[in-house]
Amino acid sequence: MNIKVLGSGCAKCNKLEQLVREIVEEEGLDAEVEKVADPSEIINYGVMVTPALVVDERVLFSGIVPDKSKLKEWLSSK
């Protein structure tokens, strides 16, 4: 699984990245986590509000940081 956290480095973006990395480690997911801060690349995903989460090139959400249990549910089902 390829996971991208889209964001410029704001507090919410950093929090989302931290949560994603924690979940990947805790759940033993076979996933590569990448932080994407380049505005042009973020726009290429059609994202106008960060943070956003992209899993296997599909945008799951943008503009929010879901709670850890919800995020774990989404990532574990992939």
- Answer yes or no: is pLDDT of 68 > 90: yes
Could you tell me what percentage of the chain is helix, strand and coil, using 3-state DSSP and rounding each to the nearest 5?
40, 25, 35
Q: Indicate the number of domains in the chain.
A: 1
Q: What is the mean pLDDT of residues 33-40?
A: 97
Residue 13 lies in a domain: yes
44-61: pLDDT as tens digits: 999 999 999 999 999 999
- Catalytic sites, residue numbers: 10, 13
Phi/psi of residue 25, each to 5°? -70, -50
The pLDDT score that the predictor gives to residue 62 is 97
Residue 69 lies in a domain: no
Task: pLDDT band for 65, please (50, 70, 90 cuts).
Answer: very high
Three-state SS at 40: helix
Domain that holds residue 46: 2-64
